[in-house]
Amino acid sequence: MEREMRKVVRASFTILALGVLSWLGACSDSVDPPASVASVTITPQAATLATDGRLKLTATVREANGNVLTGRRIAWVSQRASVATVDTSGVVTALSEGATMVIAASEIVSDTAMIHVVTMIPCRITPDGIIVC
């Protein structure tokens, strides 16, 4: 009797295991792996900002066929943080006169934008029409 029960349990377990494996196989067949990043493009590619100015850069991530990939993580970094910084959403803040490259990277692909920072000299026009800076 005990031997008969073991056979039934073993057969039930085998049927259950085959059912689970078949279900897992069906699930894995319908799920495609995510597409790899083929390109990152920053817009605008270059900008000039006054000290204390801000600019929102946008990074577009595409796969090999040119389709836009959404929801991809983008890392932002400024080559010279003393000139301008960039936050995690691509907002550049100009700090001091000079130039820096801002890099956006997703997976192992990146693009750069050139940022120039200039010091604005306050000027005024006199009643005579002369510009004084």
Is-contact 114 93, C-beta < 8 A? no
- Region of poorest pLDDT, from 98-102, 106-110, 121-125: 121-125
Give the integer Cα–Cα distance in Å for 63 and 59: 13
pLDDT at 20: 37
pLDDT in tens, 72-104: 999 999 999 999 999 999 999 999 999 999 999
26 in the same domain as 54:
no
104 by Cβ neighbours in 10 Å (0-12 / 13-18 / 19+) ranks as buried
58 in the same domain as 9:
no
Question: For strand 109-118 and strand 46-50, is the pairing parallel, antiparallel, or unpaired?
Answer: parallel
17 in the same domain as 49:
no
Which has the closest alpha carbon to 84: 69, 71, 101, 72?
101
Match 């029960």 to its residue by tokens.
Answer: 5
Biggest alpha carbon–alpha carbon distance for the chain: 116
- Region of poorest pLDDT, from 22-26, 74-78, 87-91, 123-127: 22-26
pLDDT at 71: 92
**132 lies in some domain:** no
User: What is the domain-level CATH number for residue 70?
Assistant: 2.60.40.1080
Could you tell me the residue range of the domain that residue 1 belongs to?
A: 1-31
pLDDT at 4 exceeding the cut of 80: no
Token output for 120: 């604005």
11 in the same domain as 46:
no
- pTM assigned to the model: 0.68
